[in-house]
Structure 1
Amino acid sequence: MRLPLMIAALCAVSACAPPAQVSMNRPAAEVGVGFGTPGGLRLAAAPATGGSLVRDFMDLTFAMESGRGLERFSRFEGPVTVAMTGTVPPTAPRDLGVLIGRLQSEAGIDIRPATGPATITVEFASRSDLRRLAPTAACFVVPNVGSLAEYRRKRGSDAVDWALVTRRERAAIFIPSDTSPQEVRDCLHEELAQALGPLNDLYRLPDSVFNDDNFHSVLTSFDMEILRLTYSPALASGMTRDEVAVRVGAAGGERAGNPVDWTRAIETSLGRSGSVAARKAAAERALAIALSEGWRDSRLAFSWFAVGRLAAGSDPARALEAFNRAGAIYAALPGGELQLAHVDMQMAAMALAGGLAEEAARLADRALPVVERHQNYALMATLMLIKAEALEALGNPAAAAALRMDSAGPARYGFGPDKVVEARMRDIAAVADRADKG
């Protein structure tokens, strides 16, 4: 195989493009059916002391992702209803039902599905329509509207400014209908959580969807505890930060956020704009800042991870060093098992490209139970296909064929239509240098 083709295939599998994000660009795909999420699953989260949970709650609640501070606490007061409109994908009602059930039982929120007018409306529209309104967002939530048409009328006005909301009355979530079932589910989890609760994300959280690293796409038990605290009877809409702090027992003073330069460097490294060289430089800059800050948490690990992803196709030695360092940090972090599984997938792809089939299979085997438990079926299918190629290389084509067949359900849920699944299979076969061999 020609080297450029190998590099391109490895980039595709190892995510030289940015990882799928709920709040950022994601690959276009059509809706696919045939695999669903299990109901009633509680995801374990890292244990948190009362103090750290309260600190995280305060930092999530009184700022927005942009860094803009919020003067007042806001939430819905009273029962919350959720309705879906537009071109509703066939998998969405079940996934929303599972999510609402968890919000009721785990977060203690008085929330239920509805038809017709509702407190929160989830409208499905084409990706192209949504990108005309929010070019960099895969899906988004807006206060004080009940439809896309209403948002178009109020766009740019104070009515749809979250920073001016002191009591939540209505909100609308906008999700592309022409995408994969997993992206629809991921959007439901993140956007409904933000419609109900915190509007901020914190890179330091290892076990939360309230984190722009986007490793978690399904609400964790930590997220449910944050939402439970949001709807505590001790709190009320309109309270100031100091008033909320007294009620929840927060320590005085505000916690400093991440350095702006680090956040910008990470965002540049993950973005679609700019050359690969510029994104690599941004990832290295983020790593340098993390090291200079003396961080030893998920932010340092994510900086190493970003360096590894961007080096995977062109500088295997640097990528391997970066992934090893990221994996060591994640392995030591409570709640870091899913992040470690992402690292394992990257290293498995590199092992496959390097002809180390046994190592690729070992890494896939280690990651698969974790990924399945966290319901990331796109990643699960990728790992299964990597292992299938490893089995093929080890002289077991029957087992490889069986595993590819088993991957069909997760792949359709995770990636969407057959053409997208088939493209993923071709990418992985190319990494294994099997593309020209049938």
Structure 2
Amino acid sequence: MVLRSLILLAGLALTACSVPTDTPLPTRAVVAETTLPPIKRFTSTAGFAPTRSNADMARDFLDLSFQLESGRALPRLTKFEGPITVRIEGRATQTMQQDLTALLSRLRREARLDISQVTSGDANITIHAVTRRNIRRALPNAACFVVPNVTDLVDYRSARSSNRTDWSALQNRERIAIFLSYDTSPQDIRDCLHEELAQALGPLNDLFRLHDSVFNDDNFHSVLTGFDMLMLRAYYDPVIKNGMTRAEASARIRGVLARLNPSGERRASNPLPTTPNTWKSLITTALGAPGSNQRLNAANRAVAFAQSQGWRDHRLAFSHYALARQLRADDLDQAKLHFEQAARLYAGVAKGGPQESHMLIQLAAYDISDGNPDKALVRLNAAKAAANRAQNAAQLASVLMLQSEALAMTGRTQDARRTRLDSLGWARYGFGPDWAVQARLREIAALNPQNERL
């Protein structure tokens, strides 16, 4: 899942309204670092149950389990046999340990896995907490990654071209390494734990057609969903055996899902078409830094391609989002149109999800910049609920900071102050160091046209 650093909560500040971080701003937009409150964290709750049919999710299970992200087919399903142990090695932060404890609890409760953490000795899954610099040296575009049969980064660099690290050569899973950075925001660490531990345990593929899963390279979902937990529970069901071929698993997975998710048997099948490599390649190119002609061209072509396929789902929405990101640098009005189109599409296929929330945040920033605080507050109320549901602290902090500006614009000064202070604990979890929190505050304060007169 190497696209995380390219798209997650990309630039809220609109280019025409942004200011350098050293530009003086009104006193109320700045909070002294010594007054920042403690980090806030979400309580661990169960993911919402999947709402699609078992027939469609059986296909998802097979495509996730028998193919790599590269498109290469896997000859067999591999998984751990017996109790699974997890250990952290390196510099574990306090929030990393807290979030791992919460995740393992969810895996035991929702996916019914026999999984636990150990503090010494060998473990089936070792989480290596290293620096971002070391991660980038190993895989330049990755925020974190998972690999079989290695002990550390030195071992990985020497073995990465051999069969030892080839997932398709595995017969079963015995020793898996996860590499993630400790010197990043707590939310980034948590998100990597969820994504990479899920792939260490089960499916190795990502599918753009999934709107309700972390197994999707759009990276809007950052914690394991109800669908993801169902996939892991099915993966470790006794009926699904280590070493099974796709044909063997195909003959059994419908029965497993019927037993684990009986409500899915009553839902009508509505399968989405497979995502062509042409569109995936265009999206990968389009998700670079805004302003490049090559990336803008790719984003335009991604929208045209999605429309030519007759799509009306979240993949067309994501195409409009990618195009809006590129247009922000030179054409704010056109960018807004594509954010609005993405928001409408997401509302139709993923109502109340983190995708729609992200679009509402972008549009609320436009509203504030245009002097429409009441319109912004309507959008932000919906975005706040979605950010809470998705346990996305970065989104939630941004919502609250924008709400604070909108409230201030309507003269509700006390409400604005309380909301801004409420945002800070979430911002410390979502954005990390104090300077990053302060930078986001300044970016959002700069959207408010009233600040120019103060």
Amino acid of the structure 2 residue aligned with 1:74: T
Check conservation: 2:19, 2:446, Cα contact below 8 A: no
Contact 1:33 1:90 in 2 (8 A): no
SS at match of 1:85: strand
1:312 aligned residue (328, 332, 357): 328
Specify the code of the residue in structure 1 equivalent to 2:309: E
Is 1:100 the equivalent of 2:84? no
Deviation at 1:56, TM superposition (A): 0.5
AA matched with 1:315: D
Q: CA deviation at 1:397?
A: 2.5
**Which residue among 268, 287, 290 is the counterpart of 2:303?**
287
Q: SS of 1:379's equivalent?
A: helix
Q: Name the structure 1 match of 2:65.
A: 61
Measured after TM superposition, the shift of residue 281 of structure 1 is 1.6
Distance across 2 between alignment mates of 1:413 and 1:222: 25
Which residue identity does 1:397 align to in structure 2? T
Given candidates 111, 118, 121, the residue that maps to 2:123 is 118
Deviations along 1:68-104, whole A, 9 cap, x unmatched? Answer: 1111111111111111010111211110010001101
Within the alignment, does 1:78 sit opposite 2:75 as a pair? no
Q: Which runs of 5+ in 2 are unaligned?
A: 1-12, 21-35, 256-271
Tell me the amino acid that sits aligned with residue 86 of structure 1: G
8 Å contact 2:328–2:335 — kept in the other structure?
Answer: yes
Matches within 5 A, 1:136-285: 136-249=141-254, 257-272=274-289, 275-285=291-301
Match among 394, 404, 427 for residue 411 of structure 1: 427
8 A contact 2:39–2:428 mirrored in 1: yes
Q: TM-score, normalised by structure 1?
A: 0.89
1:66 alignment partner, SS class: coil
Q: Does 1:361 align with 2:377?
A: yes
Distance 2:339 2:381 in 1: 18
Mark the CA change 1:162 to 1:437 in structure 2 (over 3 Å): closer, same or farther.
farther
SS at match of 1:91: helix
Indicate how the Cα distance of structure 1 residues 33 and 129 shifts in structure 2: closer, same or farther if over 3 A, else same: farther
Q: Please name the residue that 1:16 is paired with.
A: none
Provide closer, same or farther for how the CA distance between residues 125 and 266 of structure 1 changes in structure 2, counting only shifts above 3 A.
same
Question: Cα 1:343–1:437, aligned 2, differ >3 Å: closer, same or farther?
Answer: same
SS of structure 2 residue aligned to 1:294: coil
Q: Which moved more, 1:315-324 or 1:376-385?
A: 315-324
Please list the CA deviations of residues 301-344 of structure 1 after superposition, one character each: whole Å capped at 9, or x if unmatched. Answer: 11112122322353233223222222222112256622111110
Indicate how the Cα distance of structure 1 residues 6 and 230 shifts in structure 2: closer, same or farther if over 3 A, else same: closer
Residue range with higher mean Cα deviation, 180-189 or 40-49: 40-49
Distance in 1 between residues matched to 2:95 and 2:14, nearest whole Å: 35
Q: Deviations over 1:281-316 (max 9, x none)?
A: 211111101000111211111111212232235323
Counterpart in 2 of 1:27?
none
What amino acid does structure 2 have at the position aligned with 1:288?
Answer: A
Q: Is the 8 A contact 1:186 1:218 kept in 2?
A: yes
Q: 1:387 to 1:261 in 2, by over 3 A?
A: same
- 2:29 maps to what in 1? none
- Give the 3 Å change call, closer, same or farther, for CA 45–340 of structure 1 in structure 2: farther
- Listed as ranges, the matches of 1:320-359 within 5 Å are 320-334=336-350, 337-359=353-375
Q: Contact conserved, 2:350 with 2:356, CA < 8 A, in 1?
A: no
The percentage of counterpart residues that share the same residue type is: 44
Q: 2:73 corresponds to which letter in structure 1? A: G
The runs of 5 or more residues in structure 1 that have no matched partner are 13-31
3-state SS in 1 of match to 2:446: helix
Q: Deviation at 1:430? A: 1.5
Moved more, 206-215 or 308-317: 308-317
Contact kept in structure 1, 2:368 and 2:376, CA below 8 Å: yes
AA in 2 matched with 1:134: L
- Label 1:280 to 1:170 Cα distance change in 2 as closer, same or farther (>3 A): same
Change (3 A) 1:420 1:240: same
Deviation at 1:45, TM superposition (A): 4.3
Query: Is the contact made by 2:108 and 2:115 (CA closer than 8 Å) also made in structure 1?
Result: yes
Residue type at the aligned position of 1:219: L
In structure 1, C-alpha distance between the alignment counterparts of 2:66 and 2:19, rounded to whole Å: 38
Give the stretch that moved more between structures: 277-286 or 401-410: 277-286
Q: Is the 8 A contact 2:353 2:390 kept in 1?
A: no
User: TM-score, normalized by length of structure 2?
Assistant: 0.86
Structure 2 matches for 1:384-395, cutoff 5 A? 384-395=400-411
How big is each residue's C-alpha offset from its partner over 1:183-235, in whole Å with a ceiling of 9 and x where there is no partner? 00000000000000111111111110000111100000000001111111111
